[in-house]
Amino acid sequence: MASQSTCAICGEQDSWRHALLDCNMAKCVWALEREDIVEHLTLIQESEAKGWLSLVLETFQREDMTRVVVTLWAIWYARRKAIIENIFQSRLSTHCFVERFLSVLGLTSTPSTRKEEQGRANSASWAPPPAGMAKLNVDAALSKGSNRGAIAAVARDDAGRFLGASALVMTGITEPETLEALACREGLSLASDLVLHRVRLASDCANVVRSIHEEAFGPYGHVVREIKAMMADFQKCEIIHEGRQMNVDSRRLARGALGAEDGRHVWLLVPPDGVRSCTLDGPA
């Protein structure tokens, strides 16, 4: 560990756990990993690094344990490059290094096979809107270790081509349904930014969608009122419920945004890491 007590990357209190799990740099990499792996890691609360690693080795299946150890190594390497050499690499570069390394070990598919599998997953996890409409997938995420939340929206046209994305990171709002409602509002804000006129917005929170349709003004009634007012600005605006399996990219973007600074982040030309076009003839 570095001799200084504060993290050279984000300025927070430094420790082995911060460097490998809680620093913004580490969080952005873990956001691209499987949810079950990340959740399991956060539940291991051993304070000593040696004891924590022993529990990782004991409680994960072999392949997942190897994936975790390689990811920890990759995060540490990227961190040292940033601190010592002032060379920063994207979270996607770190994640891709892990995948390539595991492929060499024979613990994951080859790049070509993975691309084919990703193409099938993309087409299976996104349903196109009616012809002539754009679609916005929205989702929300909560930080387990703080009072921070993030919401995200991803816009595509009816052929699955990427149009834009946004994420809003905030502190102090931790009620899940309120965040999901705010995600719907953010989706419509993104649609306005993109000057879209006919939109379908999809959320995986059935209660929020129901509240919008029924104008149920509960704990987040003020957000519902704003959404209803915004809907009137479009030529056509539909808000529907879809299952979590249809919302992969917006969920990934929301989780990844938890490691970013508070405020709104927008991507209008190039999609953020982990978000791809879902063209109907395969991934772009």
| Residue 61 pLDDT exceeds 90 | no
Q: What is the rounded distance in angstroms from the CA atom of residue 251 to the CA atom of residue 151? A: 8
Whether the model pTM is above 0.85 = no
Average pLDDT taken over every residue of the chain: 86
**pLDDT at residue 110 is higher than 50:** no
Section 99-127 average pLDDT: 63
Share of the chain above pLDDT 70, in %: 87
Listed by start position, the domains of the chain span 16-108, 127-267
pLDDT at 240: 96
For the stretch 6-10, contacts whose Cβ atoms lie closer than 8 Å and that sit 24 or more positions apart, written own/partner, are 8/82, 8/83, 9/79, 9/82, 9/83
The token duo for 156 is: 């595509």
The set of long-range contacts for 213-220, using a CB threshold of 8 Å and a minimum separation of 24, is: 213/239, 219/175, 219/177, 219/178, 220/175, 220/177, 220/178, 220/181, 220/182
Q: Which residue has the higher pLDDT, 190 or 215?
A: 190
Q: How much is the pLDDT for 137?
A: 97
Q: How large a percentage of the chain has pLDDT more than 90? A: 49
Among 22-26, 35-39, 76-80, the minimum mean pLDDT is found in 35-39
Dihedral over alpha carbons 53, 57, 62, 66 (to 10 degrees): 20
- Helix pair angle (49-59, 62-85), 10° resolution: 140
Is CATH 3.30.420.10 what the domain over 127-267 is classified as, yes or no? yes
Dist. CA 76–CA 91, nearest whole Å: 12
In terms of Cα–Cα distance, which of 218, 219, 274 is closest to 251?
274
Return the pLDDT at 275. Answer: 80
Give every strand in the sheet of 263-267, ordered side by side. 236-241, 198-203, 134-142, 148-156, 162-171, 263-267
Query: Measured between alpha carbons, how far is 212 from 209 in angstroms, rounded to an integer?
Result: 5
Please report which confidence band the pLDDT of residue 183 belongs to, taking 50, 70 and 90 as the band edges.
very high
pLDDT: which is higher, 212 or 284: 212
> How far apart are alpha carbons 7 and 158 in whole angstroms?
44
Residue 16, pLDDT above cutoff 60 = yes
- pLDDT at residue number 57: 85
Residue 40 has pLDDT above 80, yes or no: no
Distance between CA atoms of residues 51 and 168, nearest Å = 36
What SS3 state is found at 8? coil
Is 165:275 a contact under the CB 8 Å cutoff? yes
In the predicted model, what is the mean pLDDT of residues 158-186? Answer: 94
Angstrom distance (rounded) from CA 59 to CA 123: 34
Q: Which of 32-41, 72-81, 109-118, 149-158 has the lowest mean pLDDT?
A: 109-118
Q: What angle do CA 210, 215, 220 make, to 5 degrees?
A: 80
Token match 């927008």: residue?
266
User: Is residue 37 within 8 Å of residue 21, measured between CB atoms?
Assistant: no
Give residue 108's pLDDT.
Answer: 63
pLDDT value, residue 145? 65
- pLDDT score of 66 more than 60: yes
Instruction: List, for residues 247-277, the tens digit of each pLDDT value.
Output: 888 988 898 888 788 999 999 988 987 787 6
136 CB neighbour count, 10 Å cutoff: 31
Give strand pairing partners of 167: 152, 265
